[in-house]
Chains A and B, each alone.
Chain A
Amino acid sequence: MPPTAARRTRPAVEDAALPLSLPIPPALPGRVLPEFSVPCVGAFDDPDFRFSIDWDGTRTLLFASPGVIRLQSETLADVSDRYPEIVAAAQPLANRAAVLDGVVAVLDPSGCPDLVALGERMALGATTQQRLPAVYLAIDLLHLDGRGTIGLALDRRLELLRGLALPDPRIQVPDWVVGEGEALADAAAPRHLPALLARRGSAHYHPGVASPDRLRIPLRHRAHCVVIGADQVLGSTRRRRLRLAEYQDSRLTQAGTVEIAETSTLWRWAAPGARMRSPLIATVDYRSRGPDGGLRGAEVVTLRDDIDPAWCIRRDPVPPPPSRPVPARGFRPTVLTALPLEVSPPVG
């Protein structure tokens, strides 16, 4: 027998003798920091960019592999227990060993994400899933069939994401628009959507970095602030004033105050001894900013623990391309001050 024929037959015999014939599940990354966005002054048109809505929700990465489906928040925490319906809906993805980047949202009947309802869902927990069902809005694909895709261009990743068969309405892939950011902003603003996301079609995914290829175009005045204290409102026994702060030049700076009622669901987050988790973040809508950058006319949209306080940054937005001098290689937050978190005890 010629030697080449012997080489062909021997491995086949060894394979047949092996007791295990199951395929080894492809490895998934353990935890992945999501890519963050750089704030941009206003909407623009650019054929290189893919424009979508920056959906109101909680940024979440979905890891699906055989036997294990888990959800990871922006703070790298495992939040699978919070949204069991999404974990169940992602079962068909398990065979593809995929990691999706997206947003968990609670939709109103018109299909618009409702951040107030999501805040209530986060405060009350998974027991409210019947009344406040969560959906997963996938906007990017970071891993598929055991291979990382973050090195691929965004257009290719979106193509692969669209190619995934997702029959369950609890996992949805929202559409995007090529090039026409201004028209999308005009259409989205009257619907009170918070912001647009402009992503460069040829860009790779940059985990943990505010990427210049991912611009956030705000459609309303909204900010995420760190809650650094809670005081009783004078003259009212049932209202609390939350003191807010943002990072400015890497230092935690006072941003203003907002009031919430102790009767509100949100107070469950901040109530001493209840479910106080440090650090607490307040998402607020505000009317304007003062000369010192402080918030004017701020109102709480929701309180939450799913945002990394280091990303509660007050930062000047960059102008839109082509003249935009954005950081060439992205930036990471630098934190120089500790987080003074204090909640005064209830009176009486």
Chain B
Amino acid sequence: MWRGAISFGMVAIPVRMYLANESKGVSFRLLCPRDGAPLRNKRWCPVEECEVGWNDAVRGFEVGKDEYVRIEDEELDNLPLDTTRTIEILEFCDDSEIDAGVYVKGAYYLEPEAVGVKPYQLLRKALEKTGKVAVGKVALRDREHLCRLALHERAILLNTLHWPDEIRDLGQLALPDAEVEVHARELDMAVMLVENLAASFDPARHRDGYRDAVQSLVEAKLTDRPLERAPSPPLAQITDLMAVLKASVEASSRQRQAALDSDAEPERATGSARRRRAS
């Protein structure tokens, strides 16, 4: 999908870049309610009141209200950027320094061109030996991205990253502060819940249930058979909870009775001794 070169120092490694993932989300087309025809979006010129074809439309950069600067494709191709056809590596760092949770946008595989196999392999080995990842810049789809190059099995993976000013500040959120009191018992219970569900991450175990359900719905409609409903989970019984509470109350009652009995025992013993002494 993209051809260029990884560039660092005096080295240039010619590579092709492919998307590492594909979207399989459920998408719907909008239809006309009367005849069921799929609706189309039209590029409409409000001045001439006519449709404009894809190839006739030109790009415009909005500089003010209703004020645009026209930009041609050739002008974009000739932007004075080093990254239009290269992945320019700026530095190597530890992977843990990049907060992947918020920074990573997209994932792409890099494949070496025939002439770039050896330097590609060299870069792979160097990343493997140092345990570092490369941080660089690349221009994709009319904009420059920050990116990370890391090892992924036999390939080099490129992740596009958000620019730092694209990451929102946490100050906008009402997050709990240290003043919120957490009891040790509550924390123990939360830790226990986490440990009960602890497992090693195996992506194959997880499926997109919504997509499956929509697929079933479509198949059922195609074959005109009634849709199978997911069985409802059995309703919980409040009596189970009350049984636990009652058992706890009874245990507490037994303990209290035992404590009363043990308090009364020495008294009875003293009393009987006294009686014995009296007799």
Q: Chain A: residues with CB nearer than 8 A to chain B? A: 53, 55, 105, 107-113, 130, 133, 135, 137, 169-170, 172, 174-175, 177, 180, 183-184, 186-188, 190-191, 235-236, 239, 259, 287, 297
Contacts and interface: CB of A to CB of B under 8 A. Distances in A.
B236 A186 contact: no
A105 B236 CA distance: 11
Contacts of A130: 229, 232
B240 A180 contact: no
Given A130-B232, A175-B243, A190-B185, A111 B238 contact: yes
Interface stretch (B50-58, B100-108, B248-256): B248-256
Chain B at the A interface: SS class = helix
Given A109-B233, A187-B248, A187-B249, A287 B243 contact: no
Contacts of B256: 183
Interface size bucket, B side?
A: 20 to 34
A239 B185 CA distance: 32
Contact of A183 (B172, B239, B242, B253): B253
A184 B239 contact: no
A130 B233 CA distance: 9
Contacts of A135: 235, 238
Which residue, of B174, B236, B253, has the highest number of chain A Cβ atoms within 10 A? B236
A110 B241 contact: yes
A267 to B, nearest CB: 14
Contacts, number: 74
A137 B256 CA distance: 31
B174 A259 contact: yes
A130 B174 CA distance: 32
Contacts of A110: 236, 240-241
Contacts of B192: none
A137 B238 contact: yes
A175 B248 CA distance: 14
Contacts of A235: 171-172
Contacts of B237: 111, 169, 172
18 contacts: A55-B238, A105-B238, A110-B236, A111-B236, A111-B240, A111-B241, A130-B232, A169-B234, A170-B235, A172-B239, A174-B242, A175-B242, A183-B248, A186-B248, A187-B249, A188-B245, A236-B172, A297-B180
Contact of B241 (A112, A177, A183, A239): A112
B49 interface: no
Contacts of A175: 239, 242-243, 246
A187 B245 contact: yes
A239 B171 CA distance: 13
B35 interface: no
B142 interface: no
A132 to B, nearest CB: 11
Which residue, of B171, B243, B253, has the highest number of chain A Cβ atoms within 10 A? B253
Interface of B: 171-172, 174, 180-181, 185, 229, 232-246, 248-249, 252-253, 256
Nearest to B241: A111
Contacts of B246: 175, 177
Contacts of B232: 130, 133
Contacts of A137: 238
Which residue, of A108, A175, A259, A297, has the highest number of chain B Cβ atoms within 10 A? A175
Contacts of A170: 235
Contacts of A107: 235-236, 238
Contacts of A186: 248, 252
Contacts of B171: 235
B52 to A, nearest CB: 31
Nearest to B255: A183
B238 A172 contact: yes
A108 B233 CA distance: 11
B170 to A, nearest CB: 12
Contacts of B249: 177, 180, 183-184, 187
Nearest to B171: A235
Given A107-B235, A180-B253, A186-B252, 17 more contacts: A55-B238, A107-B236, A108-B236, A109-B233, A111-B236, A111-B241, A112-B241, A135-B235, A172-B238, A174-B238, A180-B249, A183-B248, A183-B249, A186-B248, A187-B249, A235-B172, A297-B180
A122 B241 CA distance: 24
A232 to B, nearest CB: 13
A169 B252 contact: no
Contacts of A188: 245
A109 B234 CA distance: 9
A190 B244 CA distance: 12
Contacts of B180: 297
